[in-house]
Amino acid sequence: MKKSIIFILALATSFALFTGCSKKKGCTDPISVNYDPDAEKDDGTCEYAGSGGDVTLSLFPQHHGVAIVSSGTHPDSAFIKFNATNSPGTAGNLYDIVLAGDSGEEHVHVHNLKRGKYFIFMTGFDTTINQRVTGGIPYTITQTSGDIDINIPVTE
């Protein structure tokens, strides 16, 4: 009888230790769009920003709430950095995508993006003050398809 009780206690202790040590699995990378702050073990499910998706952004540079219209001599430009929440700087080579706006348009289209975290930087020329304006924001795409309009505040 004494051996049976010792065996049962040892078995119960082993079970408690085994189940108590299991770590919650999930995405452990904070830059991933599906980051799980409670996950203790990465399970390979992290999703990252980038091209190859079905989301289109329409980016509107706005100087004090007024649209900046792209011109042939001063085109608006959009700079997109994948998997970023902070500006990498103002040089185009620091970004994953650089696009110029079409003359006469007040926005720049960015096609084929995936869910994820991005930093969007824009430049334009404000003809009312005759000066280049710039600015950027972090943006997280949570949907897997569709169109999104985003106002990007720019300033001198």
* CA dihedral sign, ordered 145, 111, 137, 48: positive
* Domain coordinates in residue numbering, the chain: 51-154
Task: Please state the rounded mean pLDDT for residues 2-23.
Answer: 52
* CA dihedral sign, ordered 97, 118, 148, 70: negative
For 114-137, how does the pLDDT look when each residue is reduced to its tens digit (9 = 90+)? 999 999 999 999 999 999 999 999
Fold of 51-154: Immunoglobulin-like (2.60.40)
For 70-92, how does the pLDDT look when each residue is reduced to its tens digit (9 = 90+)? 998 899 999 999 999 999 999 99
Task: Please state the rounded mean pLDDT for residues 81-109.
Answer: 96
User: In whole angstroms, what is the distance from residue 133 CA to residue 107 CA?
Assistant: 14
Task: Please state the rounded mean pLDDT for residues 50-78.
Answer: 95
Q: Tell me which residue has tokens 């980051």.
A: 35
Lowest mean pLDDT, pick from 1-10, 35-44, 54-63, 82-91: 1-10
Residue 60 · residue 106 · CB < 8 Å: yes
User: In whole angstroms, what is the distance from residue 109 CA to residue 147 CA?
Assistant: 10
Say what the pLDDT of residue 11 is.
45
